[in-house]
Amino acid sequence: MDSFLIEGGVPLRGEVIISGSKNAVLPIMAATLLTAERCVIRRVPALTDVGYMSKILRSLGAEVILEDGTLTVRAAQLSGFGDYDLIRKMRGSICILGPLLARLHEARVSLPGGCVIGTRPIDLHLKGLRGLGAEVDTEGGYIRVHAAKLTGQMVFMGGRTGPTVLGTANILMAATLAEGVTVIESAACEPEIIDLAHFLIAMGAKIVGAGSPTITVTGVPALHGADHEVITDRIEAGTFAAAAVATRGEVMIHGARHDHLVAVLDKLREAGGEIVYCASGIKVSARADFKPVDITTMPYSGFPTDMQAQMMALACLANGTSIITERIFESRFMHASELMRLGADISIEGASAIVKGGRPMSGAPVMASDLRASAALVIAGLAASGKTQVNRVYHLDRGYERMELKLQKLGARIQRVEEE
């Protein structure tokens, strides 16, 4: 396994280009299963999760070619039975369920895995598919769905912590080939859902309301191939923005969409960041002092859970106490104990982390527990004095494209090494 060696204390300066969105491209890749025709997806990031999804599509019978950020998929001949070991490794793989059911009328996939950040049940996915007329069974680690036909209905996708993003994506894709009209209520409003809808519309789907809590889908007999460019990754953009502030640097972040980052940029300003909107993205720098912030994660357009860990790293540098409350996942504070190895003062009380900032941060060996926790540890290491070793950065490779190379271009003293 690889790790990052970081010599901290260097302000990040320069320009960085944001890659395509991980959370957008995976459902879009799954959507290519809805047609036998050729689909082209552009701005595809080089991530291990994209590699896994490509293997999953191939295991189902699709032809998949990835060259220089352009993915070509042709799923002319398909099997509805996915590879157990591949699918169980990645949470996003559950997105193949809706397309396979819609096109083949049956599917069998393993229960998906992913980062260890708390319980992420798929009950709403299955409830939605049942609402469209599917029979659902779970046994031996597999989910099996079957439907002679899917029929449009009103489907409610709200859950205990808000709408389900992947569940909305699954029902949205399945509904494109259902008979009649499907109304998805309490739908997820994330930009990644809008991007998926744009791809489906380019394939011939009839969709209205994506990006709002109510999405209406009028089923069509068949979909055709399409050519689509994925949106840029708002979480990668937010991560580099947080890193620029934490190191008191100045970074031009090309491709960052401020309309996708309203809540994040608001908190970065509150913490001491200076944000300038530009035609090609945003420029981020920092004031001399950092102020504490209170954050509560919420469904979009609230503060994203995927930026909680990165903001905790920044809060460790503030002069005062920040309170960070996690309302989406119940086990997403595993990075707190690792930040404490670097000198942070953090206590966990239920769903909240109390961060007493202003203590000196110094480098130490730390262990990454999940994708966004890894990013937080990198940010902390960049801001700390001395050397930090972030172990198990394979988590990072799932969602950040060549992060260490992008940071090196900004002046960071960071290198990838093989763990001993």
CATH code, 318? 3.65.10.10
> What per-residue confidence (pLDDT) applies to 92?
78
172 and 306 fall within a common domain: no
Whole-number average pLDDT of the chain? 94
pLDDT of 410 > 60? The answer is yes
User: CA of 192: how far to CAs of 24, 88, 130, 139, 300, in Å?
Assistant: 5, 22, 24, 31, 11
For residue range 329-375, list pLDDT tens digits in order: 876 899 999 999 999 999 999 999 999 999 999 999 999 989 999 99
For residue range 286-338, list pLDDT tens digits in order: 987 899 999 999 999 999 999 999 999 999 999 999 999 999 987 689 999 99
pLDDT of 196 > 60? The answer is yes
**Residue 262 main-chain phi, psi, to 5 deg:** -55, -50
pLDDT of 214 > 90? The answer is yes
pLDDT of 81 > 90? The answer is no
191 and 244 fall within a common domain: no
198 and 266 fall within a common domain: no
For residue range 268-277, list pLDDT tens digits in order: 999 999 999 9
Catalytic residue among 39, 95, 115, 316: 115
Q: Is 39 tagged catalytic?
A: no
> What per-residue confidence (pLDDT) applies to 116?
42
Domain boundaries, position 326: 2-19+232-418
Last residue of a domain, one of 189, 210, 229: 229
Asked if the peptide bond before residue 301 counts as cis, ω within 30 degrees of 0, the response is: yes
> What per-residue confidence (pLDDT) applies to 259?
97
Pick the more confident residue, 236 or 113: 236
Structural contact between residues 131 and 153, judged by C-beta atoms closer than 8 angstroms: yes
Percent of the chain with pLDDT over 70: 97
Q: What sign does the CA torsion over 372, 170, 203, 181 have?
A: negative
> What per-residue confidence (pLDDT) applies to 113?
53
Last residue of a domain, one of 229, 245, 267: 229
**Rounded (5°) CA angle 138-56-176:** 70
Structural contact between residues 192 and 151, judged by C-beta atoms closer than 8 angstroms: no
Residue listed under structure tokens 């309170």: 323
Residue 365's DSSP bridge partners are: 389
Structural contact between residues 416 and 395, judged by C-beta atoms closer than 8 angstroms: no
